[in-house]
Amino acid sequence: MPTPNKVSTILLVEDVEEIRDAAAELLTADGYRVAPARDEEDAVLRATLQPPNILLVNLPGPCPHVVEIALRIRERAALSQDIPILIFGADTISEGAELKIEENIHLISPDNFDQLRKCIGRLLGQFSFPGLG
């Protein structure tokens, strides 16, 4: 299986500290560089300082509102439109489901962390996890 030639950076936007910390720890253990952010402002600052390869977003509110926030983060941080956005914990789809809603914008309601990590790998074009190759 191909492995990435550099470490991918994930901008993790999650308002609940315990979830943010746990997800960051698991993703870091997979070999990713994780930039955790608690809200839109924090995410824009972190993305400006260290442009991510993917935005992983879980914020409260209706799904269209969360997608809007993610798009604003990408725009305000002057990130490429090619940077994928993954909204996780989406309550508009059933548990275990994944849905592509636009080019480079995906929803997932993972029933476990492995499903989330596989989706991240697919969106980053990686077939094995960084550091595990």
Query: Are the beta carbons of 109 and 101 closer than 8 angstroms?
Result: no
Residues 6+ apart with CB under 8 A from 99: 90, 93, 106, 107, 108
Domain count, the chain: 1
Q: Is residue 54 part of a domain?
A: yes
Model pTM score: 0.86
In a domain, 36, yes or no: yes
Is 4 contained in some domain? Answer: no
| pLDDT tens-digit series, residues 3-52 | 444 789 999 999 999 999 999 999 999 999 999 999 999 999 999 999 99
Q: Note down the domain range covering 57.
A: 9-123
Write the CATH number for 111.
3.40.50.2300
| Residue 129: inside a domain | no
Instruction: Answer for the pair 62, 27: CB distance below 8 angstroms, yes or no.
Output: no
- 112-124 confidence digits (pLDDT tens): 889 999 999 999 9
CA distances from 40 to 16, 57, 111 (A): 13, 10, 25
Residue 75 class from Cβ within 10 Å (0-12 exposed, 13-18 middle, 19+ buried)?
exposed
**Which residues are CB-contacts of 16 (< 8 A; sequence separation ≥ 6)?**
none
